[in-house]
Each structure stands twice: as C-alpha cells, then as structure tokens.
C-alpha cells in the first residue's frame, strides 16, 4: 500500500473515532439531564400552594403548623395530600425533555398542556419556588406530561415518572397509592381535613364534657396521670380516658353544607353536648358542640370552635352521651410504684402491728425488738396484688355511714410511705361478708374481691425471710446427724488439710466418707429455705417432742478466733408419719417459730454420706 493511502486511512479512522466519542458524550449528557430532578425547594419554607384548573381554583396556605384551604372555601386542610404533593414534586423523575417549539399545537392539546392544563404554583414568603402545568398521562406507566415556563423562549415540556407515595386514608385503613393527577383535579371540598379535631394527644391537658346540668372534667399535668376533677375529684383511668381522647381525635366528619333548622327529629331526651379540649400551645380551648338526634343510629350535626361551618359525624359519636364518671375512674384499687416505697405497716384487730422498712434494696422486718431480713417476694407480692385488684363496685362517694361497710372498725389497715408521703388504706367487712375499703384521705368506698385479704398475712412470722441459718460453709467445723433410733453420724472438718473425718457410734469411718455427699449436705444445710412459716404451732410442738431427725452444726466466728464455737440445732418431725410424702415441721435452736420443709428437702438432708 502506498504511503499516501495509508496516511489517508489513519486520518479517516481518527476522525470517525472522534465523531463517535462526541456522539456518546452527547447521549450521556442528555441521559444525565433527563434523570435530574426538575424542582428543588425546601418543603418547610412553602406556605402557599395554588392549584388552578379549568373549572375551579384552590388555594392552600400554611398558618403556623396547620394547612388551610383559603379559597374557594375557608377550612382547615388535610395535611397528608399536601405533604404528598410536595414530596412528589421534589422527586419527579424526568424521562425526556422537549425544547420549546418541538410540540405542535395538536400535540400540546393531546398532552393536556393547552387551556385545559392544571397550573400548580408553590410559593414561600411571597417568592415563587416552583411553577408548572400538569397535563395528561403518557403511554408509559405511572407518568405524565408537565411543562415548566422559562424566562426566555417559552415552556419546556417534560415526560416525567411519578414516584410512589403512600397516603393513609384513616387510622383503620391501609395506605393507598397516592394519585397525584387525580388529587390536583379534585374539588376544594376534598382538600378539607376529614379529621374533625387535629391535636396531638400527648399535648392535651384538660377535657370537659357538659350536657344539660351534668359535667365531667378531666385534667393531667405533663407526664402525669389523668384525674377526674368534676363532678368529684379522684383518680381517673389513664387507659380509659386516653381511649376516649383517641376516639375524639380520630372522628372523621364531612361538611354539612346548609343545616336545616331543628325539627321533630331533634332529641327531646338528650341535651346538646359540649366537649372542651385544652392543650399545650393553644391560647384557647377547642370547643366541640354536638346536637343529638332521636334516632340513636342517625348521624350527628356538630360545630367546632376552630373551624367554620357545620359538620356531619357518624352515629357512633353518640356514645359520648353514655359516658358516666364511674366509666372513666381508675378501675384498680391501687397504683403503687414499688421502687419509691420505703416503709410498710400492717395493722389488724387480732395481731400486733407488722413493721417493714426498706434498707437499700432489701426489705427488713422489725420483730420482737430485732431487725430481720423480710420475705422479699411476699412484700413485692402484696404490692402486686394491690395493683392488680380490680374495684368491683364504687359503693359510695360519701363516707358518711362507715358502719354500713364495716369500715367504722377496719379489720385491716395498710400504710405505706414514699418519702414524706404516707398513704393509709383501710379494709372492712359488712354483715354479708362483702369486703370494702377506703383511703383515709378520700370519701370514696370501694367494694373488692374478699380473696385480696388472703395476700395479707396477719402473723408477723409470715413476713420473715424463709432462710433458716444464713451461714457460710467456711465457718462450719462439725455436723452431727441423728435420724430416729439410728446411731449419730459425726463429721469433723479440718481446714488445714481441707478434709473431713467421720465417726459413727465412736467408730472411725473416715475411709468410708463420700466427700461429694458431705459437700452437698453442707451446702443444703447452710442455705436451707423453709417452704413456709407455721402460724398454728400447737401440732408442731407436739410432734417435735420426738423428732425424726436432729442436726447439730458447730460453727466458728472468724472475726473472733479465740471465741469458743457455737452450735446450732435443727430438729425435724413429720406432719403426718403415716403419709410418706408429708411435709416436716422444723425448729432451730428451740426458737418458738416453726417452719415447714417438704419431703424432698428432708431426703436430701438424710441422704447417706458414708458408704
């Protein structure tokens, strides 16, 4: 090949490569431009949305935290579709752009961008943030045409893909796909807020219901429980009051239009109902007025102070007339925070006062001038029982005749202390055996389940810790076990060699000792827990005159090495010798208090330790 031809081919190839690369760059640039966002603005700065259609124009304005329809009607707007429209505008995906003049008049008409187009304008602080015409849907799924005006040269038409957006219809319905175009084409009525009262439940501080001469008022402070203030002052049920509040805040209503004058359909039985709701950051309460109907299933006409016009509510809203103070009172006898209680006294007419005090995280029992560890589980169980006890009947709201309820001489009194605050709860029983109680600082009398009294033992021993010896294995030096008529087994511990010596009836049985069995016995004895303490001790004293088992444990005092050892003696006797699985009475060092252990515990103590 000639040199001239070769050079020409090289130049031609280079030119073709340049052309192709330029074309690829152009396509890439167009692709990037096609997928860029068309609008950029801060949603929080938007305060006005104008939607101008062929038949109607709608103006939406932000006032404080709420959106309002300001034209062609005046009402609070539904914030959910407004937020959806703004979100969709910011996330529109540009599929293709068409320069001004590239669409014929007929094409513009088919794209819906002629006089039939919807004009959408977004403003903030008097400044236009976004403006476009919205046309018809394109052949591509979930897309439509829009046009955006330019400063020079006319409108640029775009085919855009709509992002997915969800809009919850109500608290009871599932989210649905938000139809951007359909919402822009809708009437002003559908932009109005279907939720009659739009407040945050946790900000509500007072609710008042008034109908005729009757009134109920509830109040609460921040992070506090609800109280019933009127017609009397007492504890309210947080769960029930919050449920009523939630029902009020989720009432869906529709504009009533022209409401006819009251006719014979107006109820002659029920008076009109007024509901007042006070909340944080509200200068005035929201006042809701409800007009009843003689038909219990009929819709209800309502007006509300922070929205113009009248509204139609579903017939179920009539349930507000049925509310009674007792329906919303606290149904539990007590609501006690056990972490704040520091002391508890139990008094009854047949036994001495029981006094319990909390030291750190441990409950202590004052008994016979000594401070002993209390039964922690029983103390906590008492509070749990009180908190779980349901009030069966609000028997009286005036403590004028206590004798009628057996409260003139209470059979029980519980007094607990939380810091400087003390609470006294009194229990009485009437002639029919019904159990009533009252707080000494309140006039109210409650009827409760009589079985609650079973959770309040009257004998102080029942509140004592179930641990018997409270010893460390390191202080034990000798164990002597004598079961029935069998020879006693004596076990001596030598700490220097960490070994045990055994003797049965003066015979050395050390070589037959099973150390693992002795360790198990030792651990069982020093950590022995009673099943329960015995209150009727007569039978126990009689049985223990001839014990089935005697265990002696000799211990040292590490703090005083020179002191002689101390010996503790445990005696056991069956509660029913004829029954193999019967429980056993137990007694420590001849103390008056008796306890019970089960048959399994007894067999563990008497298990052989010598082969």
Reported as a single tens digit per residue, the pLDDT across 405-427 is: 999 999 999 999 998 899 999 99
Q: Are 489 and 610 in contact (CB under 8 A)?
A: yes
Give the pLDDT of residue 257.
72
Cβ burial 181-209 (10 Å sphere, 16+ → b, else e): eebbbbebeebbbebbbebeeeebbebbb
Torsion angle (degrees, nearest 10) of CA 600, 606, 608, 609: 110
State the Cα angle at 180 between 310 and 114, rounded to 5°: 105
Phi, psi of 392 (to 5 degrees): -75, -30
Give the pLDDT of residue 55.
81
Q: What is the pTM of this model?
A: 0.74
Cβ burial 469-492 (10 Å sphere, 16+ → b, else e): bebeeebbebbbbbbeeeeebbbe
CA distance 605 to 528: 10
Shortest CA distance to 205 belongs to which of 187, 222, 188, 182?
222
CA atoms within 13 A on the CB side of 87: 14
Give the pLDDT of residue 17.
46
Reported as a single tens digit per residue, the pLDDT across 563-574 is: 999 999 999 999
Pull the structure tokens for residue 490.
């004596």
Reported as a single tens digit per residue, the pLDDT across 163-222 is: 876 554 444 444 456 789 988 988 888 899 999 999 999 999 999 999 988 999 999 999
CA distance 318 to 316: 5
| Mean pLDDT rounded to a whole number for the chain | 89
CA distance 611 to 607: 11
Alpha-carbon distance values, 66 to 130, 180, 240, 390 (Å): 21, 21, 28, 42
Give the pLDDT of residue 166.
57
Give the pLDDT of residue 365.
97
Pull the structure tokens for residue 336.
């006690």
* Under-50 pLDDT residues of the chain: 1, 3, 5-34, 168-175, 260-267
Phi, psi of 450 (to 5 degrees): -65, -20
Give the pLDDT of residue 13.
46
Phi, psi of 82 (to 5 degrees): -65, -45
Phi, psi of 560 (to 5 degrees): -135, 80
């Amino acid at each position: 090949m000639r040199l001239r031809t070769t050079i020409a081919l090289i130049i031609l190839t280079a030119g073709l490569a340049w052309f192709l690369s330029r074309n690829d760059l152009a396509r890439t640039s167009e692709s990037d431009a096609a997928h860029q966002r068309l609008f950029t603005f801060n949603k929080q700065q938007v305060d006005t949305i104008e939607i101008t259609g062929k038949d109607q124009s709608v103006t939406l304005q932000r006032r404080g935290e709420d959106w309002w329809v300001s034209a062609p009607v005046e009402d609070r707007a539904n914030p959910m579709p407004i937020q959806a429209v703004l979100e969709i505008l910011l996330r529109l995906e540009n599929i293709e752009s068409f320069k001004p003049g590239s669409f014929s008049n007929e094409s513009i008409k088919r794209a819906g961008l002629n006089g039939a187009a919807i004009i959408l304008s977004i403003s903030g602080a008097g400044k236009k943030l976004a403006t476009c015409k919205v046309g018809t849907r394109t052949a591509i799924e979930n897309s439509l045409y829009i046009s955006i005006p330019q400063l020079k040269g006319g409108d640029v038409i775009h085919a855009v893909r709509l992002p997915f957006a969800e809009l919850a219809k109500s608290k009871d319905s599932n989210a649905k796909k938000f139809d951007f175009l359909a919402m822009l084409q809708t009437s002003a009525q559908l932009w109005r807020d279907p939720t009659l009262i739009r407040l945050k439940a946790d900000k509500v501080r007072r609710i008042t219901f008034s109908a005729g001469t009757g009134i109920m008022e509830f109040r609460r402070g921040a992070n506090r429980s609800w109280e019933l203030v009127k017609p009397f002052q007492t504890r309210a049920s947080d769960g029930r009051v919050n449920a009523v509040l939630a029902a009020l805040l989720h009432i869906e209503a529709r504009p009533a239009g022209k409401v006819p004058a009251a006719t014979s359909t107006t109820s002659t039985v029920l008076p009109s109902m007024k509901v007042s709701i006070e909340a944080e950051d509200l200068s005035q309460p929201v006042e809701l007025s409800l007009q009843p109907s003689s038909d219990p299933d009929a819709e209800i006409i309502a007006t509300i102070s922070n929205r113009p016009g009248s509204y139609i509510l579903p017939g179920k809203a009539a349930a507000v007339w049925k509310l009674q103070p007792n329906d919303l009172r606290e149904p539990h006898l007590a609501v006690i925070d056990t972490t704040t209680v520091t002391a508890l006294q139990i008094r009854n007419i047949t036994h001495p006062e029981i006094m319990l005090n909390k030291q750190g995280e441990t409950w202590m029992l004052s008994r016979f001038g000594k401070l002993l560890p209390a039964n922690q589980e029983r103390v906590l169980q008492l509070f749990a029982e009180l908190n779980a006890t349901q009030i069966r009947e609000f028997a009286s709201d005036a403590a004028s005749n206590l004798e009628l309820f057996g409260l003139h001489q209470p059979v029980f009194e519980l007094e607990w202390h939380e810091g400087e605050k003390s609470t006294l709860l009194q229990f009485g029983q009437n002639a029919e055996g019904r159990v009533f109680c009252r707080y000494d600082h309140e006039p109210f009398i409650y009827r409760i389940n009589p079985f609650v009294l079973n959770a309040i033992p009257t004998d102080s021993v029942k509140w004592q810790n179930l641990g018997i010896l409270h010893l460390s294995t390191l202080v034990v030096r000798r164990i002597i076990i004598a079961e029935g008529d069998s020879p006693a087994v004596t076990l001596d511990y030598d700490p220097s060699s960490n070994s045990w010596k055994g003797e049965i009836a003066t015979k050395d049985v050390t070589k037959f000792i099973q150390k693992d069995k002795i360790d198990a016995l030792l651990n069982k004895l020093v950590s022995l827990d009673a099943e329960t303490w015995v209150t009727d001790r007569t039978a126990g004293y009689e049985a223990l005159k001839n014990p089935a088992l005697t265990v002696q444990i000799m211990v040292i005092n590490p703090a005083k090495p020179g002191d002689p050892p101390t010996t503790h003696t445990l005696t056991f006797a069956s509660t029913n010798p004829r029954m193999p699985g019967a429980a056993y009475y137990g007694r420590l060092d001849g103390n008056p208090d008796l306890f019970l252990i089960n048959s399994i515990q007894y067999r563990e103590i008497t298990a052989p330790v010598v082969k």
